[in-house]
Amino acid sequence: MGQDVSEVTGGGEGLRRFTRHLLRDMEALETLLESDLVERGLSRIGVEQEAFLVDRHWRPAPVSDAVLEAVDDPRVVPELARFNIEFNAEPLPFEGDCLRRLHERMRALIGEIHRAAHEAGAEVLLTGILPTIKRSDLTLEAMTPRERYRLLNETLTRLQKGAFEFYIRGPDELQLRHDSMMVEAANTSFQIHFQVDPESFARLYNVAQAVAGPVLAVSANSPLLFGKRLWMETRIALFQQSVDTRKGKPDLREIPPRVTFGSRWVDRSVLEIFREDISRFKSLFGTEVEEDPFEAIEAGRAPALEALTLHNGTVYRWNRPCYGLSGNGRAHLRIENRILPSGPTLVDEIANAALWFGLLRSVPEEYGDISRIMDFHDARGNFIAAAKLGIGADLAWPGGGGGADELMRDRLLPMAREGLREAGIDADDVDRYLGAIAQRVERKRTGASWLLESLGGMGGEGTSEERLRALTGAISARQRPDTPVAGWEPATLEEGGGWQSGFQRLEDFMTTDLLTVNEHEAVELVANLMVWHKIRYVPVEDDDHRLVGLVTDRTLLRFLTGDGYRRAEGSVAVSDVMHEELITASPDTPTLDAVQLMRGAGVACLPVVHDGRLVGLVTERDFLGVAGQLLESGLEVDEAS
């Protein structure tokens, strides 16, 4: 999870000291790449698995501290939120049965975490974005209490100059302002590493860039956020915007985001990327570095390059170059693939990794230097198209592109098979894992398409919250046997756990599709809204969408039939009839608390507000609907017994 850090402030001695260490590390890396202290002739693979912890209602369970304590395994580490967790498998040589062994190690690790999670009343879920996660889950209270995360949030908040803003447009549209970087915790990923020789780094890094789009297209697993249908791999847009520090910068300057695909091919060396990132991205953190890298080199040891490693960890390339030390104390270079989502199952994740590993081996054999025959902008365009459209994307490729499914079936899958075969990977494992990809392509069934198909198949059954719980419950049930997603049956509403799992908080069933008016509008508009849409309450907002009042049907009727309205000259403003002293609640208010609040205040309508802005409405009619469902379910249980 990175080193202990201290905050860097611009212009201070801490910043200058850290920058000197960073530049000295770069000089040392240049020297190292010419030495025998960097491993060559050996390929290793490794993975980092992020996951969610969920409770029995399929909601985020902030119990990672208890899980970590129970597991007590250095391979299992905390993540940004207390409902996230990460675990890592030891690197393996890229040969023979490495894919199967990697799968077995991950299965054993997740089994340990499952057992610890159950003791804490939770379970582990692999999914790119948790369907049931809500904005109210993403508070600073849910942040893992680690200094690194606190400083990162404070630094990004300062650079953002205010709220974090998100805009993602797919079939639905998401516009969101949030007060911290915690929206990033809605994402979990499956990161894979491939060790390369220094001399082949540029060639293989360019291959990783070229195949990013096609690999992502068949691996997409994150089409939903807060119940909205967005990109097929919404993580890509969400993560980029969660750490984007460019707000308030000059519009005419070309300033790259910290989360980036890059802007060009690499010509010769990994040094090009590190130099570019140091040149363009200021240090977010500093750390006290005691090691002199040149003293280590002179002593025949590979230095840790702590400053370079720390800075590199705050620049989020989708394919990230990594410097590290192997168990034998020698340095190595890796390409870290950060594009892949968590889930849908371990076997699907290993299949995604196998596809990527195979293409890294075969594409150079097939095409030579990919940068000479493919435009970089096509590679970057493919990546965005795949994130938006998944397996339905049209992709460019040398010799002619086409649909992602056809390109994968006819050209890339055979190449990946050949690459794995040439690497000496066990033939049965190649068939198993690439067979899972082939099945996805044949059925056009990725994790993302399964989620959307399942959601669509439920139609208007249940509430939106019930449908999202059903998706989450179904994911959990189908992950246990570890069968590829291409063979999954669609989720059903019953898999959400029934009424016992719902209606816990107001956000579970509040009305969010609201009709509102401005305080300066004519009162006749309110009357017509009530008649046209058969509603009894109309919230009143100001120009900044802050709740300032509420008009009820009774108040409006008394006014329209009274002498005041008949004597009025011209139109009457909504502000003249609205209630201004309002009882409100937040989205995470427990349902029973809300019932007691409404009873005590003698109101039949409860506006739901977040940061002063109206986000929902709960009325006595909503509670009648909830009560009806609970009564119906209870009677069914009685009859069955």
- The C-alpha torsion from 618 through 502 and 341 to 111, rounded to 10°, is 160
Question: What CATH number does the domain containing 526 carry?
Answer: 3.10.580.10
What pLDDT sits at residue 311? 93
Q: Domain check: are 277 and 204 in the same one?
A: yes
619 vs 362, residue with greater confidence: 362
pLDDT digits (tens, 9 = 90+) for 547-578: 999 999 988 888 888 776 666 666 788 998 99
Q: Domain check: are 537 and 416 in the same one?
A: no
pLDDT digits (tens, 9 = 90+) for 378-424: 999 999 999 999 999 999 999 999 999 999 999 999 999 999 999 99
Establish if 589 belongs to a structural domain: yes
CA distance 237 to 167: 9
Q: Domain check: are 98 and 195 in the same one?
A: yes
Cis before 607? omega within 30: no
Question: What is the residue-wise DSSP string for 462-530?
Answer: S-HHHHHHHHHHHHHHHHTTT--GGGPPPP-GGGG--GGGS-SBGGGT-B-S---EETTSBHHHHHHHH
Which amino acid, residue 577?
V
Q: Domain check: are 100 and 225 in the same one?
A: yes
Residue 131 has pLDDT above 80, yes or no: yes
pTM: 0.87
Establish if 485 belongs to a structural domain: no
What pLDDT sits at residue 566? 61
pLDDT digits (tens, 9 = 90+) for 166-183: 999 999 999 998 889 999
CA distance 152 to 158: 10
Establish if 550 belongs to a structural domain: yes
Establish if 641 belongs to a structural domain: no
Q: Domain check: are 426 and 514 in the same one?
A: no
Number of domains within the chain: 2
**Arithmetic mean of pLDDT, 321-346:** 95
Q: How deeply is 157 buried, as exposed, middle or buried, from its count of CB atoms within 10 A (0-12, 13-18, 19+)?
A: middle
Q: How deeply is 213 buried, as exposed, middle or buried, from its count of CB atoms within 10 A (0-12, 13-18, 19+)?
A: buried
Which of 50-54, 236-240, 595-599 shows the lowest per-residue confidence on average (mean pLDDT)? 595-599
Q: Domain check: are 158 and 257 in the same one?
A: yes
Residue 284 has pLDDT above 70, yes or no: yes
> Strands 259-260 and 316-317: what pairing?
parallel
**Arithmetic mean of pLDDT, 328-353:** 97
Residue 148 has pLDDT above 80, yes or no: yes
* pLDDT band at residue 329 under the 50/70/90 scheme: confident
Q: Domain check: are 539 and 424 in the same one?
A: no
Last residue of a domain, one of 411, 443, 475: 443
Q: Domain check: are 86 and 173 in the same one?
A: yes
CA distance 551 to 560: 12
Residue 157 has pLDDT above 50, yes or no: yes
Q: Domain check: are 520 and 426 in the same one?
A: no
Which 3 state secondary structure label does DSSP give 536? Answer: coil
Residue 225 has pLDDT above 80, yes or no: yes
CA distance 401 to 134: 39
**Arithmetic mean of pLDDT, 214-221:** 98
Q: Domain check: are 519 and 409 in the same one?
A: no
Establish if 431 belongs to a structural domain: yes
Name every residue whose Cβ is closer than 8 Å to that of residue 296 and which is 6 or more positions away in sequence.
302, 303
Establish if 483 belongs to a structural domain: no
Question: What CATH number does the domain containing 306 carry?
Answer: 3.30.590.20
What pLDDT sits at residue 11? 47
What pLDDT sits at residue 526? 92
In the block, tokens 């929206």 appear at: 183
Establish if 100 belongs to a structural domain: yes
Which 3 state secondary structure label does DSSP give 545? Answer: coil
Average pLDDT score over the chain? 90
Q: Domain check: are 97 and 188 in the same one?
A: yes
Last residue of a domain, one of 426, 443, 460: 443
What pLDDT sits at residue 9? 44
Establish if 480 belongs to a structural domain: no
Q: Which domain holds residue 97?
A: 6-443
**Arithmetic mean of pLDDT, 212-218:** 98
Measuring CA to CA, which residue among 205, 68, 72 is closest to residue 144?
A: 68
What pLDDT sits at residue 528? 92
What pLDDT sits at residue 318? 97
**Arithmetic mean of pLDDT, 55-84:** 96
Last residue of a domain, one of 443, 469, 484: 443
Q: Domain check: are 213 and 113 in the same one?
A: yes
Which of 76-80, 280-284, 296-300 shows the lowest per-residue confidence on average (mean pLDDT)? 280-284
